[in-house]
Structure 1
Amino acid sequence: MSAEKAGITATAIITDRFVQTAQAMADVSGMPGYPFVVITHPIANNDDAVLRVKAQEAVQQSLTILQER
């Protein structure tokens, strides 16, 4: 969100466990509805194959969000 405030189109990648917290932070920062990339929780202890899938999902969501902005 700091990048957005500086005029740089951006997004943030979070896990689904932190959606409510991230939305609250966006609201408090004056950016309600900020588009987050959301991947499944947890990340810790995932093997390489699972992390690759989550990374691919994050890239696809990021591209969609950034292209729409």
Structure 2
Amino acid sequence: MTTASKTKATATKSAPAQSEADQPKMALRITAKPSGGFRRCGVHHPAEQVDHPEGRFSAAQIRTLKSEANLVVHEL
């Protein structure tokens, strides 16, 4: 077996890396701190609690929402 063949064989045996889109997503309960609500990730979040289903936001959006000081985000 040549070096190229060994490398190819090894590459096919290893598990593919998970992309961000493949990572688990979670249901969230989001409440905006400002009384008029707050817009983030393309969604207006009111001052009242809103439950969002699993898969509504990508892993990157969840990180953004959790780091936003104007939102209270709870995992469900």
TM-score between both structures, scaled by the size of structure 2: 0.27
TM-score between both structures, scaled by the size of structure 1: 0.29
Q: Which has the higher helix share?
A: 1
Q: Which has the higher strand share?
A: 2
